[in-house]
Amino acid sequence: MESSAIKRVVAMSLLVLSTSAAGAGPFDNAIGTWWGQAEYVAKVNAVPVEAAQAVVDLTVTVEAGGKISGASPANGCQLSGVLTPFSSPQVHRSQITVSNCRFASLNGRYLGPVTVKPQAGTLALSLTMSQPGGLGRDSRWGTITVTMVRK
């Protein structure tokens, strides 16, 4: 290969690398709209709330800045919150508020990892809500788990 052709190949390679690095961010792999069958589980005072337990469609959207929002129309649950980078570009911490659920025992502040698996094309949520009882208030615990694909 002649010198000018090598220079062009190197220049193009550097341009591609610099362009992708400049656009890279902590949510690049998670950005977009995702869908999956989510399992919702709730307990009040350590007793399962059978009526609240469900496996239903969940759609979430992750924005470039880490904002996450979503809904499960079958049980009325709406999700909104933020993701922040954690141990790797594919693992994020979440703080998500779940509201408007038909079963109020599912409403609350959920925390947990959100993991992107680029090779599999999936996004996994493993969220937990824990609210201790006291002063006439019931203790509540809930989980939402789902592995999602791009919609």
Reported as a single tens digit per residue, the pLDDT across 40-67 is: 999 999 999 999 999 999 999 999 899 9
Instruction: Report residue 56: phi and psi, to 5°.
Output: -140, 165
Contact 78, 60 (CB under 8 A): no
d(CA 132, CA 105): 13
Higher pLDDT, 117 or 145: 145
Tell me the torsion sign for CA atoms 62, 66, 72, 76.
negative
Number of separate helices (H) and strands (E) present in the chain: 1, 9
Fold of 26-150: Lipocalin (2.40.128)
pTM: 0.80
Structure tokens at 58: 């969940």
pLDDT at 123 over 60: yes
